[in-house]
Structures are given as C-alpha cells and as structure tokens.
Amino acid sequence: MNKLRLVLSVAFISFGLLAFSQTINEAGDALNNAISHYKAKNFTSAIEEYKKCIEICQSLDSDAAYDLLDKAESSLTKTYLSLGLAQYKAKKFDQAISTFETAQKQAKDSNSQKAATQYLSRVYNSKGTLFFNKDKFAEALAAFDKSLQLDPKYVKAVYCKTLVYKKQDNIPAFVAEMDKLIAMGSETDKTVRKAKSVASGFFIAEGGKALQVQKYAKAVEMLNKGFAYKSGNSQAYYFAAIAYNGLKQWNKAIESANKALSLEKGSKSNIYFELAKAYEGAGNKTQARTTYAKVTDGPNVAAAKHKIENELK
C-alpha cells in the first residue's frame, strides 16, 4: 500500500512539473509572438499576445514566471504607446485618447506614465485644432483646456487658445492668454516668437483700422501695444507718424517717421510727406521744405509742391 502511494505521489509530481512546463512554455510563446507582432507594427495583435502572457504568468508561482511577467508588462505599456502614436498620426484622435489613457493606467513606471500623459495632451490639442478649423470654438477651448490640464507647460495649447479668442474678438482674453504664453516660454522658443508676432500684427492692424476713421488716440494706443510685443515694420511706424501728426504730437511723429524711413526698402515719398508735416507742425520750416522736396512720387506730390511754393516761403 505504501508502495502504491509513493508511485501515485511521484506520478502527480511529474504531472505537475509537466503541466508547469507546458504553461510556462505557452507564456514564452505568447511573449515571442507579441515581439514579432510588435516588430511588424501589428500593435493590436501584439497587445493581445502580451495580455495572454501576463494572464498565464499571473497564475504561476515561480521566478521564471515573474521574469516573463515583468517583461510582458513593460512591453505592453510600450506597445500601447506605439499604437496610440500610430492612431494619432492617422488623425484617429478619439481612438488615440482611449489608447493613451489605457497606457497611462497600466504603466508601472513614472516615465511611461509621463509619456502617456504628454501624448494625451498633444492629442487633445490636435483635436482642439480640428474643432477650431470648423469654427467650433467652445469645443476647441474645452479640448485646449484639457490639453493644459494634462500638461500645464504646453505652450502650444496656450497659443491655440489665443487664436480662438482672436477669432471671437475677445480682446481681454486674447491679451491675457498671450501674456501668459510669453511668460511661460523663452525668447528662443519658436511658439513664443510666433505668438509675439501674431500679437504685434493684431494690434498694428487695429491701429490701422482706427486711423481709417481718424481715431488717432485709439490708433496710438493700439500701435504701441503692438510695439510692446515686437518692433514694427516701416508701415507700422508710418501709421504711428500719421497718428501722432493727427494728435499734433510733432516730436513723436518725427521719431516714428524716421524709424519708418530706416526700415523702408521701397518708395519713401509717403513717409517723407508725414515727416515734413511733423517738421512744419513743430515750426521747423527749413527742414519741412527740405523734406517736402523728397516727395517725388505717389499721391502727395502736388500737395508737397504746394507747401513748398506757397506756404513755406
């Protein structure tokens, strides 16, 4: 009887070892299959094989199983990230969001969690841009805010918000977000430089609109806001010269006109005309005559000639 028990015990042990061997081999096969699928960029199949390996290893209690489990779990996170990136590049934003959220939840290390979070932020920003291009501004702002919630230092999302507010003519919000963006970045940051250019261009255009209806004080206010973000071009300083002449602030008009002249590469006649007006207003007739004489083309030639021949003798 004891002999029979011994034989049965040996048989059960042998069977258990065989079952374990088959199971750990199955886990290894699943891992190898997953690696092959990953190399072929068949990420969905790779994920299923990694999950299969993990499920088998979790049912076992051995060092070999633990080693396979660790490899499978870390590789699964990497595969989710790769799948999410592929979906993102294909502009399948909702699928990418779901994939990155899964990666974020099941990641075992902080670097993987950080990567998933940053990718999520980028996807939401791209989704917001898609809404923006369709004039769905409320949805765009919600997506940009979600992007910033995930990555508060993502300057591109702040920049995108400024574009929404600009489209909505929400000037206070536009300025607030633009200033926040500039404070977040550095002078070498491409997005910050672009933001400054956009802000400057916006206010200079507003200054030009004010000039058209002869609101000279408003024009000066808008132009100076633009200059605070970025130095203007010749046209911007020419606008400033017109506005200051309209306000009879002759010295500022002279300064602005000279800046415009230093930047202008083409015809300078219109700028010389405003500069001459400023000299005339300041009481410098000699300089005014000399400057009016430089108006040699454009719509102000006759007016300049009249000034020289009749008013500044």
Residue 151 CA to residue 118 CA, distance in Å, equals 6
pLDDT at 23: 85
Residue 124 CA to residue 117 CA, distance in Å, equals 11
Residue 180 CA to residue 157 CA, distance in Å, equals 11
For 165-179, the pLDDT digits (tens) are 999 999 999 999 998
End-to-end CA distance of the chain: 139
For 239-294, the pLDDT digits (tens) are 999 999 999 999 999 999 999 999 999 999 999 999 999 999 999 999 999 999 99
| Cα-based distances in Å from 9 to 6, 19, 22 | 5, 15, 20
Q: What share of the chain is helix, strand, coil (3-state, %, to 5)?
A: 80, 0, 20
| Cα-based distances in Å from 93 to 5, 131, 146, 156, 300 | 63, 12, 14, 17, 57
Lowest mean pLDDT among 52-61, 86-95, 202-211, 269-278: 52-61
Residue 187's pLDDT band (cuts 50, 70, 90): low
| Mean pLDDT, the chain, whole residue set | 89
pLDDT at 18: 42
The 8-class DSSP code of residue 112 comes to H
pLDDT at 13: 40
Q: Residue 285 burial (CB < 10 Å; 0-12/13-18/19+)?
A: middle
pLDDT at 202 over 80: yes
Residue percentage of the chain with pLDDT more than 70: 92
Mean pLDDT of all residues in 68-75? 89
Residue 1 CA to residue 172 CA, distance in Å, equals 94
For 83-116, the pLDDT digits (tens) are 999 999 999 999 999 999 999 998 888 999 999 9
